[in-house]
Structure 1
Amino acid sequence: MHRTEFDAIVVGSGPNGLAAGITLQKAGLSVLIAEAKQTIGGGMRTQELTLPGYKHDVCSAIHPLVLLSPFFKSIPLQAYGLELITPAFAAAHPFDNGHAAILNGSVRETAERMGKDKAAYLDFMEPLVRMLPGLIPDLLGPLAMPQKPLSMAKFGLKALPSSLNTSRLFKTAETKAIWSGMAAHAMQPLENLATSAFGIMLMAAAHLNSWPVPKGGSQSIANAMAAYFRFLGGRIETDFEVSSLDQLPSSKTVLLDVTPRQLLKITGEKLSPAYRKKLEKYRYGTGVFKIDWALDDAIPFTAAACKSAGTVHIGNTLEEIAAYERSVFRGRHMEKPFVLLAQQSIFDKSRAPEGKHTAWAYCHVPNGSQKDMTAEIESQVERFAPGFRELIKARHTMHSAQMEAYNANYIGGDINGGVQDIRQLYTRPVLSTSPYRTSAKGIYICSSSTPPGGGVHGMCGFHAAKQALKDVFKISNL
């Protein structure tokens, strides 16, 4: 390492670490990003996990929030190699009768396919989609007085109920099911308060911008962010695992893209006893079991719409999905998991050799689970795509403990950096007027364990960097 002193050091090069580094560097600081692995990206990495020529997203794959994020809107990633692809359909949800519900296009276009639920869906979603762009800065930030309090109140009335309660607005099993599949991204029981917020955000994102797929894999997002950061003058060091702040060069401030558990280890006794005690009470949520497949052909879904969808939610009815998510949250496995599946190679030919395909899927499991869910997941896919198993050339699997070994932020396989329920949605990692500050002067946390939580949006890093700029460098005009 050539420099012995920086204005700021960021530990971790996931979307939030890179966002923090870019924000600090844009403000004129000298910034180092320290990454433990050989490659940057955190949850945005793409590797040949199965066979040569088959590119698989190791963690995140579909990115509903990239085009909504104020941070991503503020940086020119397309000029640094990022190309986003829009699937024909954002998402599809197949049923045992061979049909599928589809999320795509405007609210009205989607509602037209909902039969008896057309009016109810329009009444529920149209006002939200109109309001959402103006609310995004507040929704993707820390708890504060909103810029548009009346609109936020209207949003909250629909977002705070449980998704099971909201499902009662709809009459058909198909609409209830596609709604519950969206809400299940909350990784908690669907009867929990505020699970409707997850369904709303994902469906509104689809209506506004679809759910884009980065060409070449999620690594493309990380690479573009890193290229822009370096263009600004920033420095990245890989193979630099930080287990103690004493390992770092001198700097005026440090931002850590880690969860509370690692923060406690890395900072040692620098944090106050009271703050440490609060961090020790931080709650982690359910884990995931993930599979990547190299396939001889595209997945032969019975429902034609599924063959044109970037994402397919496999869980059949609301009742099945709700039972599964409830069971997992209580620490139990079930035979028929709710499966979240992506098939990027249908739209991005760079993902697989000519005529071949890849697919990516995971299901929720109890935190820390080491149970192999391969048979259960593949049985669910086969249920809606007979002949799927015959197309498998190779597979790569990761249980929750392996997910954590791959990325230390995935405690017990929790890809959201902690439970995002009503108790911990805006009080992550602690209840504070500035959740990005720690009790130690100049030390900040910028991971998905801060508001607004999980997802590739960069806003946790952006807000943490803004706080550090204000506190340490007296810069607040961003």
Structure 2
Amino acid sequence: MTSTDVAIVGTGPNGLAAAVVLARAGLRVDLHEGAETLGGGLRTAPLFDSGVLHDVCSAVHPMAAASPFFREFDLAARGVELLHPDISYAHPLDGGRAALAYRSLAATCAHLGPDGRRWRQLMGPLLEHSEGVVDLVLSGQRRLPRDPVAALLLAGRAAVHGSAWGAARFCGEEAAALLTGVAAHAVGKLPSVAGGTVAMLLGHLAHGTGWPLPRGGSGRIAAAMAEDITAHGGVFHTGHTVRDLAELRGARAVLLDVSPKGFLALAAGRLPRSYARALERFRYGPGAAKVDFLVSEPIPWSDPAVGRAGSVHLGGTHAEMVRQESANARGVRTGEPFVLVVDPAVTDPGRALPGKRPVWAYAHVPNGDPTDPYDLVRSRIERYAPGFTDTVVAHRSIAAAAYETYNPNYVGGDIGSGAMTLYQSLARPVPRVDPYRTPLPGVFLCSSATPPGPGVHGMSGYLAALSVLRHRFAIRNEPGLSPKAVPRGFGSRR
């Protein structure tokens, strides 16, 4: 292989974020992607009709609007428009009821009736310290928080709402279900501190920077990052899977946007046994099974207001979700899984054609579950939107077990690259002062298996890149990431 400064394996959001930083630092960067297209979880493609685009993995991006990396990268200045629905997310309940999280905190509280005051007390202070909350959760979690008040607010709320007493603080089913549906994004046992933290982070963002969808699909984010990398000399190599680190021996540094399982395979016995054993003990979380629908009309929700939401959580009551998610974490399949649904054309009408619109849906299932999820997901939607089945023109389903074939990072269908337990939230993938450095000289991890964990925020790649600059190239000045920043060109080009 031709010598280069940095070789990156994997072009998911973290691999791309690392490449943005390193290329802007003046280093020669080569990116290697096994698929024919870039993006990992940021891919958009026409699955059934050339004029209708489906998000193959992620669809809604609260972290793209909030994370420190994307705040500085400035997607808007690069032509990526983040569209905000009036209702960030909705949670239908039986009997035609629905709990609604409006972008407006005031509107949400008014809709929740007697629990409105409690919701305001929960989310209002987090909104006042939102940047501190986001920066704490999306950090390498190895330093004292910059905003101690934000840390205290988050810790107290996560502890309460990550316990069995959290739901009891609400008097009605709607508010409890609304919050538990967000906690379920942790994809694991409920209640849990990890789930409580996710609920506080994503819950308050719904009323702040929002839960937006990129106009034209998630692939637009990957394209903007790739354009910046190419503009600063980065080179992409697609359609070839790197199977051994020996293929990258010409690079001075290697970053791996791969799972611990993938790292073990690439290292091919080179790792110290203690580190390898720690990677082998790394726990993967429940799986996601996906169904992409092409439908003839908007989803006929029993409560029409649900049809204005960017995201919809189908899980029933708080008690039902606790039972379902905890069973999944134990590897027990349920007949009524938690399902996330997005009708992108609600927020981005250009995604639909007359009589044709995409619908995106994920179901939480046990890790490695081989079951075709179509009937599970269809019936789950039908429960809250009678007549939905009649609108389905075409569908494509992917079982959790098959998701690992599509993307090896999704071990057993775990799209978060590791169970979000309290321990693994802090010690991903193993307990180390610098979790991005590995025992192999010049080899670094930058996937969601490192802090801060899952989500399209780019922070794992960004923080890994800073570690590379410090430890491999003795560079301590961070390059500017905004379109207006002048690259510092202080890297080696030997």
Q: Same fold (TM over 0.5)?
A: yes
1:135/1:203 CA distance change after superposition, 3 Å: closer
5 Å-filtered alignment, 1:21-420, equals: 21-144=19-142, 145-161=144-160, 162=162, 164-248=164-248, 250-420=250-420
Could you tell me which runs of 5 or more consecutive residues in structure 1 were left unpaired when the two chains were aligned. Answer: none
C-alpha distance after superposition, 1:378-415 (max 9, x if no partner)? 11111111111000000000001211100010000000
- Counterpart position of 2:489: none
CA contact (8 A) 1:50 1:292 kept: no
1:151, CA displacement in angstroms?
A: 3.2
The offset of 1:314, in angstroms, is: 1.1
Give the CA deviation at 1:334: 1.5
Q: What is the aligned partner in structure 1 of residue 442 from structure 2?
A: 442
Distance (whole Å) between structure 1 residues aligned to residue 117 and residue 350 of structure 2: 41
SS of 2:94 mapped into structure 1:
coil
Say whether the 8 Å CA contact 2:294–2:395 is kept in structure 1. Answer: yes
Q: CA deviation at 1:248?
A: 2.2
The alpha-carbon deviation at position 66 of structure 1 amounts to 0.7
Q: Distance in 2 between matches of 1:392 and 1:41?
A: 28
Aligned-residue offset at 1:105: 2.2
Shift of 1:131: 1.6
Whole-angstrom CA distance in 2 between matches of 1:61 and 1:391: 21
The Cα of 1:231 is off from its aligned counterpart by 1.2
Distance in 2 between residues matched to 1:29 and 1:270, nearest whole Å: 27
Percent of matched pairs sharing the same residue: 39
Q: Deviations over 1:342-398 (max 9, x none)?
A: 010222233232342111101111100001222121111111111110000000000
Deviation at 1:222, TM superposition (A): 0.6
User: What is the CA–CA distance in structure 1 between the aligned matches of 2:220 and 2:248, rounded to whole Å?
Assistant: 28
Deviates more, 1:290-299 or 1:260-269: 260-269
How many angstroms apart in 1 are the aligned matches of 2:242 and 2:346?
39
Q: CA deviation at 1:226?
A: 0.3
Question: Which moves more between the two structures, 95-104 or 415-424?
Answer: 95-104
Shift of 1:163: 5.2
**Counterparts of 2:475 and 2:133 in 1: how far apart (Å)?**
25
| Aligned equivalent of 2:482 | none
> Aligned-pair distance for 1:55?
1.4
Match of 1:52, SS state, is coil
- Separation in 2, partners of 1:189, 1:273: 31
Is the 1:346–1:357 Cα contact (8 Å) retained in structure 2?
A: no
RMSD: 1.5
Given that residues 299 and 385 in structure 2 are in contact (C-alpha distance below 8 angstroms), is that contact kept between their aligned partners in structure 1? Answer: yes
Unaligned regions of 5+ residues in structure 2, if any?
479-494
Q: Is the 8 A contact 1:164 1:180 kept in 2?
A: no
Shift of residue 80 of structure 1? 3.6
Residue in 2 that maps onto 1:425: 425
Which aligned runs of 4 or more in structure 1 are off by greater than 6 angstroms? Answer: none
The Cα of 1:150 is off from its aligned counterpart by: 4.2
- Letter in structure 1 aligned against 2:146: Q
Give the stretch that moved more between structures: 391-400 or 44-53: 44-53
Partner of 1:9: 7
Q: How far apart are residue 79 of structure 1 and its match?
A: 4.1
Residues 160 and 195 in structure 1, CA contact (< 8 A), matched pair in contact too: no
* Alpha-carbon distance in structure 1 between the residues aligned to 2:149 and 2:211: 28
- Secondary structure of 2:390's counterpart equals helix
Q: How many residues align?
A: 476
Residue type of the partner of 1:472?
A: R
In structure 1, how many angstroms separate the alpha carbons of the residues matched to 2:355 and 2:82?
A: 22
Could you report, residue by residue, the CA deviation over 1:136-187 in whole angstroms, capped at 9, with x for unpaired residues? Answer: 2232112222223343133212123425432221110011111111101111
Q: Is the contact made by 1:80 and 1:227 (CA closer than 8 Å) also made in structure 2?
A: no
Q: Which amino acid aligns with 1:45?
A: R
Q: What is the DSSP-based 3-state SS (H/G/I as helix, E as strand, rest coil) of the residue aligned with 2:230?
A: helix
Give the deviation of 1:297 after TM superposition.
0.6
**Match for 2:392: what amino acid?**
I
Task: Report the alpha carbon displacement of residue 431 of structure 1 after superposing the two structures with TM.
Answer: 0.6
C-alpha separation between the residues in 2 aligned to 1:107 and 1:274? 49
**Residue type at the aligned position of 2:172:** T
In 2, Cα distance between equivalents of 1:17 and 1:325 = 30
3-state SS of 2:73 partner = coil
Distance 1:254 1:282 in 2: 22
Counterpart amino acid of 1:405?
T
CA shift in 2, pair 1:394/1:175, >3 Å: same
Q: Retained in 1: the 8 A contact 2:370–2:400?
A: yes
Shift of 1:76: 3.7
Alignment-mate amino acid for residue 281 of structure 1: R
Q: Distance in 2 between matches of 1:163 and 1:300?
A: 35
Q: 1:249, CA displacement in angstroms?
A: 5.6
Cα distance in 2 for partners of 1:23, 1:446 equals: 13
Question: TM-score, normalization: structure 2?
Answer: 0.94
Q: TM-score, normalised by structure 1?
A: 0.97
Does the aligned pair in 1 maintain the 2:186–2:194 contact within 8 Å?
no
